[in-house]
Homo-oligomer: A and B are copies of this chain.
Amino acid sequence: MSFNPHVSIDCVVFGFDGENLKVLLNERVIAEQNQNYNDKKLPGSLILDNEDLDSAASRVLSELTGLKNIYMSQFHSFGKPDRINNPRDILWLEKTMNLKIGRIVTIGYVALIKIDRKIQQQSDVTTAKWYGIDEVSKMNLAFDHNEIIHSGLEYIRGKLDNDMQLLFELLPGKFSISQLRTLHDTIYNKQSDVRNFQKKMSQIQYIIALDEKQQGVKHRAARLYKFDKMLYKKMKN
């Protein structure tokens, strides 16, 4: 007879605050013998009986972060037999699920959102917070969540190669070229030459220079730009 694993959803939500690419994580508290152990995990949970995968993803995200009506894409499923072998992970599952769990196949969903979206969740879970990608890569997350985030980022890169619009969805409506470069370089994990990047971007017709400059900056306030979605779509097709 075949083994019967559980199926869960994990949500990788990326945001950009103008300086850093961030990912949304829940805090996890594990009561150990002498003290509590704290770490972080992706917003995730088991799917319910009568729920399809997309609905489960929306429910899980909403319950654990308060975010609603977020467009999420299913990007990959993770099912290594030993993805749950850390005693802390097993203990946490037993306490929160009230269940001895042998194996969980988890389905990864990814979203890109503006970081000013309100994060709020049901009172019985710990707060979801934004963490910088660099910081997260040094953290020891629950389960295989470091790998899931890495894979989500790879997926986003692939999508961006096809559709630049996604990049602009992370930026404020009016942005500086320096913000665009920072976001671009964070996602692709490289360091573009400042002048080259500025020159390249100024040649892209759907990036429109505005007659406005950054506010609240003491020296050399940068010019602001906007993304012309209509023109982009026209040029793409």
Chain B residues with CB below 8 A from A103, complex form: 49
Chain B residues with CB below 8 A from A3, complex form: 47-49
Interface presence of A153 (CB below 8 A): no
Contact B80 A52 (CB under 8 A): yes
Minimum distance in angstroms from A103 CB to a CB of chain B: 8
- A interface residues, tally (CB under 8 Å): 32
- At the interface with chain B, which of A4-12, A32-40, A182-190? A4-12
* Distance between Cα atoms of A53 and B105 in the complex (Å): 9
Interface presence of A235 (CB below 8 A): no
* Distance between Cα atoms of A81 and B49 in the complex (Å): 7
Instruction: Return the contact of A105 from the options B98, B105, B162 (Cβ within 8 A).
Output: B105
Instruction: Return the contact of A4 from the options B4, B56, B158 (Cβ within 8 A).
Output: B4
Contact B46 A2 (CB under 8 A): yes
The count of identical subunits is 2
Given contacts A51-B81, A81-B49, A161-B162, contact A2 B97 (CB under 8 A): yes
Chain B residues with CB below 8 A from A49, complex form: 2-3, 81, 103
Chain B residues with CB below 8 A from A98, complex form: 1
Q: Mark A147-185, 1 if CB is under 8 A from B, else 0.
A: 000000000001001100000000000000000000000
- At the interface with chain B, which of A71-79, A191-199, A211-219, A224-232? A71-79
Minimum distance in angstroms from A234 CB to a CB of chain B: 18
Chain B residues with CB below 8 A from A78, complex form: 53
Chain A interface residues (CB < 8 Å from chain B): 1-7, 46-53, 56, 74, 76-81, 97-99, 103, 105, 107, 158, 161-162
The 6 A-B residue pairs with the shortest CB-CB distance in the complex, in nearest-first order: A3-B49, A53-B79, A2-B46, A52-B80, A50-B81, A77-B77
